[in-house]
Amino acid sequence: MPVYKDENVKKNPWFYVLEIGKGKNRKRTKKRGFKTKKEAQAALVEAENNVNNGTFIKREKTLLPDLMNLWLKTKEHSIADVTYKTYGRHISLHINDYFEDFQAMDLTDEDCLDFIKHLRVEKELASRSVKDVFKVLRSALDWAVLKSKLQRNVTRLIDMPAVERQEIMVWNADQVREFDKHIQEHHDYVAFLLAYGAGLRQSEALALRFKDVNYESKTISVVQTLSHDGKKIRTGAKTASGTRLVSVDDKIIKEIQKRKRVVAAEKLKAGGVYQDNDLIVATSVGTPVTPRNLLRTFYRYMEKLEIPKITVHDLRHTHATLLLKQGEHPKIVQERLGHASVKITIDLYSHVLPNMQKETAERFGDFLFGTNLGTKNTNGTISAPDTENRELI
């Protein structure tokens, strides 16, 4: 077996030499990076079998960064702009920076494990970010295998990095009312109201149009989103299930009607300068309100109040949590938020479910057996359970 050890290499010193073809057409190919002799021998046997089966891929000296950039280029017109830019950042800031001198064909599963450790320890990335970066690397190598640029994807030999579940920060009903009371006179108030009052994402609220509102049925149609930089409005939602019809209450309808009157006045004042995108939340000249500016407003108002510091997206979580605590079925919450499945909703808000279980048990016991301790009155006294008018259904 033509397997050798490079004494000058401390890490993964074993390599094999494979002969392909006969006579004048005979060529040698070499592959390095094996930790033990046994691993090198196993890889050689696999390579020889591939040669015999006609599935062997000739080794080409392609740097991993070049491969990553080539893969990214194929994605330019097949994914959303924001996703494309995110992939580009992951590649330039993390993958290409770490694997700068790596040949794609020489990449091993141990190299990938070292990369994950590098992201966690040296780069100090959050577990979610580590997983996102690794997913980009895995997807690119899957593509390389499909295009016969690599024999196999070594990232498939290791587990996807785990994501540590982080506690979702939300407001209770009193805190929402406190914030609402102070923010409701602001020019962009409706954007916040749509988040904690209807569960819309920031990108959805900032792209909502007046024609998306049905005042008779009290519903809004979520059919487009605003990009993170606020420069582009995209048709469709974040996911297929994100395009949805959401029922809203009288307060939201009234605030949208009020906003419509404000926009009409702004159109008259701006004249020909006004850009009519039919947006409910827009600047005084009709252009989209950028997420960054909305964030500044949110933090400024939140600092004035003695309430927990949360993110704009947490307003959406607040809406969902309050619904679940009210006893709404997770399926209804899923449909309002536009989650792809009810499993996502249940997993995301599992912190609410234990209390729901307790309250459900108490309500059921009260309904069937009258086992609760009675109802607490406003004066502090306790009324006996009402069992005379109870019906079993």
Q: Whole-angstrom Cα distance, residue 349 to residue 273?
A: 45
Residues 8, 75 share a domain: no
Q: Which of 293, 265, 261, 297 is nearest to 182 (CA)?
A: 297
- 122-161 per-position pLDDT tens digit: 888 888 889 999 999 999 999 998 888 888 899 999 998 8
| Structural domains in the chain (count) | 3
What does the DSSP assignment read for 245-296? EEE--HHHHHHHHHHHHHHHHHHHHHGGG-----BSSB-TTSPBPPHHHHHH
321, pLDDT greater than 50: yes
Cβ-contact 225, 238 below 8 angstroms: yes
Q: CA-CA distances (angstroms) from residue 218 to 152, 200, 290, 365?
A: 54, 15, 27, 36
Cβ-contact 284, 268 below 8 angstroms: no
Residue 37 is which amino acid? K
Residue 209 Ramachandran class (φ > 0 left, ψ -120 to 50 alpha, else beta): beta
pLDDT reported for residue 34? 84
Q: Identify the domain containing residue 119 by its residue range.
A: 64-157
- 35-44 per-position pLDDT tens digit: 888 888 888 8
pLDDT reported for residue 19? 76
- 14-27 per-position pLDDT tens digit: 888 887 767 666 77
For the residues 89-98, what does the mean pLDDT come to?
93
**Does residue 58 sit within a domain?**
no
248, pLDDT greater than 90: yes
Percent of the residues in the chain that have a pLDDT greater than 70, as a whole number:
88
Q: Whole-angstrom Cα distance, residue 141 to residue 149?
A: 9
**Does residue 214 sit within a domain?**
yes
253, pLDDT greater than 70: yes
Residues 341, 239 share a domain: yes
Residues 218, 314 share a domain: yes
Residues 340, 244 share a domain: yes
> The domain spanning residue 109 has which CATH number?
1.10.150.130
**Does residue 393 sit within a domain?**
no
**Does residue 359 sit within a domain?**
no
Residues 329, 180 share a domain: yes
Percent of the residues in the chain that have a pLDDT greater than 90, as a whole number:
52
- More confident of the two residues 164 and 12: 12
* Longest pairwise C-alpha distance within the chain: 102
Residues 204, 131 share a domain: no
55, pLDDT greater than 80: no
229, pLDDT greater than 70: yes
**Does residue 361 sit within a domain?**
no
Residues 312, 227 share a domain: yes
Domain termination residue (choose one: 127, 157, 187): 157
Strands 375-376 vs 382-383: parallel, antiparallel or unpaired: antiparallel
**Does residue 313 sit within a domain?**
yes
